[in-house]
Structure 1
Amino acid sequence: MRASLLFLLSAVAGVGCQSPPTTSTGNPTAASRPPAPAASLFETRWVLRQVGTQAITVPEGGQEPYLLLRRTGAAEGQGSCNRFRSTAATDSTSHLIFTPVLSTRMACPAIATEQAFTQVLAAAHSYRISGDTLRLYAPTEPDAAPLARLEAVYLR
């Protein structure tokens, strides 16, 4: 009886000391966190971060360029120097086309950024949203480089 009890205790102790098999999940905090939901195309302030391969920098005293799309089809924003308005047509899945942009005509150090932004809006034909990033595309191959990259900025 004593031998059976010792065997049973050693077996239980051996099982308790075994570590579970390890599995690699990469970043443990990322594995436990669900993916960020995609920002809404509408009623979101989309700040211009990149045109083509060029990162956008706002010169001192300049204004951050952004786009705001309303559910009514209105499009408005800041080019960097001037406020602008347009309308946008979308099927809410991938296509996005703007009418010609109307804006004020003030000069500023970032006028080149503003002109590039309005050219992107004129050339845009489709979009993709991934998390807080909006990418605008020309009507070429689906895997082409984006015309611009914008980031959702939430106002508090």
Structure 2
Amino acid sequence: MRSSVLILALLATGCNTRPAQETAATAPAAPTTPNAPLRETHWVLRQVAGKPISVPANTREPYLTLRADGTAEGNGSCNRFRGSFFSENESELKFSPLMSTRMSCPAIDTENAFTGALAKANSYEISGDTLRVLDASGAAVARLEAVYLK
């Protein structure tokens, strides 16, 4: 009888499941989006100075592309711009004065805010497909999204 009680006790304890906190701690993490590369990515402007941008009809979506050779180019919505950028240290991002054409269009205020934000750039953060351009105080002056062209 003693051996059958021992066997029943062993079976009962062997069937216990792990505590909930132990199961949650060992569960695989949810997949995350890898960070888009700073260079050679088509970054489309989504916010400037904390405000979402809207693109009037018949104007281009503002974008920025940072080339591997240190060239910065893009479109502010009305005009193309070009210059150079510096990113010698981790998270550093500074632009030389950008040259652009001088045409006017309904989105000129957005363009001026975008190029003004780039002029204030001091650093950046990338999280997934989002690039945040930060000024010297660490405040976000622009938020851009990586758009993958086909």
TM-score, scaled to structure 1: 0.81
Q: Which amino acid aligns with 1:132?
A: D
Q: More displaced, 98-107 or 114-123?
A: 98-107
Secondary structure of the residue aligned to 2:145 is strand
Question: Counterpart of 1:20?
Answer: 18
> Quick one: percent identity of the two aligned structures?
51
- The Cα shift of 1:100 comes to 1.7
Structure 2 runs not aligned, ≥5 long = none
Greater than 4 Å deviation, 4+ residue runs: none
- The Cα shift of 1:92 comes to 4.5
1:152 aligns with 2:146: yes
Cα-to-partner distance string for 1:59-106 (whole Å, 9 max, x where unaligned): 233221110000111111111122211111220412222122222222
Contact 2:49 2:117 in 1 (8 A): no
Whole-angstrom CA distance in 2 between matches of 1:60 and 1:25: 50
Whole-angstrom CA distance in 2 between matches of 1:25 and 1:107: 57
* 1:5-154 alignment, distance < 5 Å: 6-23=4-21, 25=24, 31-139=28-136, 141=137, 144-154=138-148
TM-score, scaled to structure 2: 0.83
RMSD: 2.3
Aligned pair count reads: 148
- The Cα shift of 1:49 comes to 1.1
Cα-to-partner distance string for 1:123-155 (whole Å, 9 max, x where unaligned): 21222222222121222x3xx321111111222
Structure 1 runs not aligned, ≥5 long = none
Q: Which amino acid aligns with 1:10?
A: L
- The Cα shift of 1:50 comes to 0.9
